[in-house]
Structure formats: structure tokens, C-alpha cells
Amino acid sequence: MKIAKDGFPFIAGFGVAGICFWFIAMPLGLILSLLAAICLYFFRDPYRNIMKSGRFVFSPADGKVMEIIEEKDKKIIRIFLSIFNVHIQRAPFSGSIRSIEYKPGKFLPAMDRNAHAVNEQNVFTIDTVYGEIQVMQIAGILARRIVSWVKAGDKVEAGQRIGIIKFGSQVDIILPAKIEVLVKLNEKVKGGTSIIACMNN
């Protein structure tokens, strides 16, 4: 299985330290080796068979739908990522990255109702043929680094990898109001393969 490049420093660091301490202080060496294995699992980047479609919006992340909000001019789907989920984010729809805005902030637990407003985050604004879509990478209590793999002006295809959040987090997707939401509260989704909404002509 492919491993995200952002995980290599953690895996190598804990792995080398684990080997060194194995012969000096076995309990510590065992703990460090276990941490290396955990990081190997956390930063996994599994292959996804991306469906080609011009109408479906795909989940930008693996996790569980924890809130669906319908407002007059937009619909918001909030996805909670536990430490057991793949933490790579993917483009929910094909388009062009208009901007990526980094917002420093707090590190409240991802399940906190205020996390989306006050936590550290990256906001991707994607221009599509159906209007603007935003994806928000939101740091959690354990997530202390959010990473973007694309930049403003880049063209993206639905399902393409766009970034990663390190260790526990939340991802929000903000859609135009005219889009039909197809997921339900507490439903488990996978980035790039789970259909969460449909564009209505």
C-alpha cells in the first residue's frame, strides 16, 4: 500500500529510534517501534477507483457525517475523521482552485460544535461548472498540521488528492443550495468514492 510522503519523517524517526533503543532499553524500543507502526497505518494512501461523472459530488474525506446544514444560499456537510480513518483529502468535483486560505486558530476536539469556526484550517475554494464549492481542512485536538498538495490556479479532477491533515480532524464541504444532498447523518463515507450530493440541472 502507498504511504503519504508527509508520514515518512514520523515513520523513519520512530522506526530508527525504536531500533536504537531496542538493545539499550527494550520497553522504550518497543514503544517507539509501535509508534512507527501506528504512523505507517495512519499515513496509508489506499488506491481508490474514481468514478467518472459530471453530476455527482464525492466525499472529500474518509469519516462519518456528523452534521448536515441547509441554509438559504448553501448546504454544509461536516465529516469527522477519527485516527483510524485515512486522512488524505480529495477534490469532491472537477474544477479549478480559485484560492486556498490558511486560517490560524485553536485546536478544539473535532466533535466540538465550534471547531469549524475557531480551529486552525485551510479553505479550498473550487470553481466548477455548477458554481463554487469549498472544502475546509480543520485541525482537531491531535491534528497540529494541515497540508495542501495543490495551489491556487491548479486544475483538479474529481477524486484527486489535494491535501492531508495529520492526526484526527474534521473536513467540511460547502455546496451551492441547489445541490441535492444524498448522504444522511452518521453515514460513513470514503474520500473520492462515496457520492454525497448530486448536481441538479
- 97-136: pLDDT as tens digits: 999 999 886 766 666 666 677 778 899 999 999 899 999 9
pTM: 0.88
Contacts of 149 (CB under 8 A, 6+ apart): 161, 162, 163, 164
Cα four-point dihedral sign 170, 132, 122, 55: positive
Grid cell in block for residue 135: 472544502
32 vs 128: CA distance, rounded Å: 45
Radius of gyration over every alpha carbon of the chain, rounded to an integer in angstroms: 18
Task: Give the model confidence (pLDDT) of 30-66 as tens digits.
Answer: 888 888 888 888 889 999 988 887 889 999 999 999 9
Domain ranges of the chain: 5-42, 56-198
Task: Give the model confidence (pLDDT) of 58-87 as tens digits.
Answer: 999 999 999 999 988 999 999 999 888 999
Output the CA–CA distances (angstroms, integers) from residue 90 to 13, 119, 171, 177, in the order listed. Answer: 27, 20, 11, 21
Which band of pLDDT confidence, cut at 50, 70 and 90, is reported for residue 143? low
CATH topology for 56-198? Glucose Permease (Domain IIA) (2.70.70)
- Catalytic amino acids? 169
* Predicted pLDDT at 187: 97
Instruction: Tally the C-alpha atoms within 13 A of residue 192's C-alpha that lie toward its C-beta.
Output: 20
